[in-house]
Amino acid sequence: MDLPDTFSTSAFATAVASLRGRAVHVLPQYASDGPCGVWISTTTADYVFVDESTAGVHRQHILAHELAHVVFDHGGPGVLADDLITRLLPDLDRSTVDRVLQRGSYSTREEQEAEVFASMVLQRMPSTDPLVDGAPREVRALARSFGAARG
């Protein structure tokens, strides 16, 4: 992937779309009872859902984790509860779905790969954490020393 030294989540999603040669749509998910991240791959595009109740670095990490699955082309056909897939993509023809991955446990090799890759990606993204970005210089330096902020 051709990425600059630092980049945003939208730039990363664009690079992943270019790598895949197809659209990558990043969409909000408003369900508190569902997974915090979901990747749905169809015959024509990839859809990545991120729980909108998360913010800052946590939200960036979820998105990077799901995009890592896209980059590595992880998994086979998955199963989502019908109500969840209907809520996420109500107009989607289910026959076009190639695979579904939803963030859950981290016990599989694919989940571990996605976690490591997401952590590596986050090292090159500027922090968007409002608790750090507007903080005094000393607080930002302390956050950087613990890996909670970059830049």
Lowest average pLDDT, out of 97-101, 113-117, 122-126, 137-141, goes to 97-101
CA–CA dist 83, 43 (Å, integer) = 21
CA separation for the pair 122, 146 (Å, rounded): 14
Higher pLDDT pick, 71 / 35: 71
pLDDT class for 22, splitting at 50, 70, 90? very high
Is pLDDT above 70 for 148? Answer: no
User: Model confidence at 9, in pLDDT bands (50, 70, 90)?
Assistant: confident
The answer on pLDDT for 65 being more than 50 is: yes
Cα–Cα dist 30/32, whole Å:
6
Q: For 56-107, give the DSSP string.
A: HHHHHHHHHHHHHHHHHT--------HHHHHHH-TT--GGGEEEEEE---S-
pLDDT(34) > 90: no
Give the span between the Cα atoms of 116 and 105, in whole angstroms: 14
